[in-house]
A = this chain, B = another copy of it.
Amino acid sequence: MRKILIFGGGGMVGQKLAQSLADNPLAAGDRVTLCDLHFPENGAPVAEQITGTVTNPAVLKRLAETRPDIVYYLAAIVSGEAERDFDLGWQVNMAAFQSFVDAFRAEVLASGGDYKPKVIFTSSIAVFGAPFPEKIDDTFFHAPQTSYGAQKAMSELLLTDHIRKGFFDGLSIRLPTICVRPGKPNKAASSFFSGIIREPLNGVDAILPVDPTTRHWHASPRSAAGFLRHAATLDQAVYENRPALNMPGVSCTVGEQIEALWDLCGADVASRIHHEPDPEIEAIVKNWPRDFAPERAIRLGFTAEKDFTEIIQVYLDDDFAG
């Protein structure tokens, strides 16, 4: 029996992953535990739930002592919030990740060689900053233009050094912007990418805060859960000492997103999107990547959608209740 622990298990991606592991376990007997500050109130829990915060070292120590075989680390303050509250962002996205790594390394050292977890960390394409090449390749440098991106880039480096030294197995996964997110808008600067699809489908008006020519890099929640599942199945050697990967995704403009919505769901739905430029959001998003050539991840078998129509279809299949 393997133990799987998901920090940030109450969040959207954490819940998608937990549901996926419940529906279709990676291996027979896998037992999944979620840790988060909050969990969804609707529906039955998809796995064991522990209420706690990664900013509390005692929580980290207690969970490290359970010696989970696979640890997903998804806990984070989102980009917009980390940009507005500098101290909170650094505390949650960096200091807590350092405490997490310290707590699990302490358990590894205490085990005398018996315990070596596989740590899968969700990083972000926000580690990259403009100006960019047409497509970002697998050796383009980290030049984040947000605190969130800096925190993710630093966490990757910290995890990679612990993997290199043999304390953990694992990988950092740079998620595309996850779209279409179900539920309500959140404080991420990227929230509108989902909002302009989700709200109109639910009969609600949506605000587009950036220019329709804005190009960005997307994958569905189903793909995000798929990336995280697939990462748990790969042997450490495949990463060739570079365990941080750009994930596959779909590059398209906001205009193309709206066009796909129009084609799939009609003009009435698409007409509920209203363009109201927001300089704060525009300033953040213009420094975000637009397209990738994620050759290593594709070679290792990570897969995402082929186009934005498919991304909308995944939302309609998995999350749309209308």
Query: Mask for A43-65, Cβ within 8 A of B = 1, else 0?
Result: 00000000000000000000000
Within 8 Å by CB of A157, from B86, B154, B164, lies B154
Measured in the bound complex, the distance between the Cα atoms of B138 and A245 in whole Å is 20
Measured in the bound complex, the distance between the Cα atoms of B147 and A135 in whole Å is 30
Q: Are A157 and B153 in contact (CB under 8 A)?
A: yes
* A150 CB within 8 Å of chain B: yes
Q: Are B145 and A157 in contact (CB under 8 A)?
A: no
* A232 CB within 8 Å of chain B: no
Measured in the bound complex, the distance between the Cα atoms of B142 and A150 in whole Å is 13
Q: How many residues of A contact B (CB 8 A)?
A: 21
* A160 CB within 8 Å of chain B: yes
Q: Are B165 and A154 in contact (CB under 8 A)?
A: no
Chain copies in the assembled complex? 2
Q: Are B141 and A161 in contact (CB under 8 A)?
A: no
Within 8 Å by CB of A150, from B140, B147, B160, lies B160
Within 8 Å by CB of A158, from B140, B150, B161, lies B150
Which residues on the B side are within 8 Å of A165 (C-beta)? Answer: 86, 147
Smallest CB separation, A104 vs chain B (Å)? 14
Q: Are B142 and A140 in contact (CB under 8 A)?
A: no
* A78 CB within 8 Å of chain B: no
Within 8 Å by CB of A140, from B86, B141, B242, lies B141
Q: Are B142 and A139 in contact (CB under 8 A)?
A: no
* A143 CB within 8 Å of chain B: yes
* A129 CB within 8 Å of chain B: yes
Measured in the bound complex, the distance between the Cα atoms of B154 and A145 in whole Å is 15
Within 8 Å by CB of A145, from B86, B142, B164, lies B164
**Residue from the set A145, A150, A158 with the largest chain B CB neighbour count within 10 Å:** A150
Q: Are A150 and B144 in contact (CB under 8 A)?
A: no
* A241 CB within 8 Å of chain B: yes
Which residues on the B side are within 8 Å of A144 (C-beta)? Answer: 157, 160-161
Extra A-B contacts (11), CB below 8 Å, given A129-B241, A144-B157: A139-B141, A141-B141, A141-B142, A142-B157, A144-B160, A145-B164, A145-B241, A147-B161, A150-B157, A150-B160, A153-B157
7 sampled A-B residue pairs with Cβ under 8 A: A139-B141, A141-B142, A143-B160, A143-B241, A144-B161, A150-B160, A157-B157
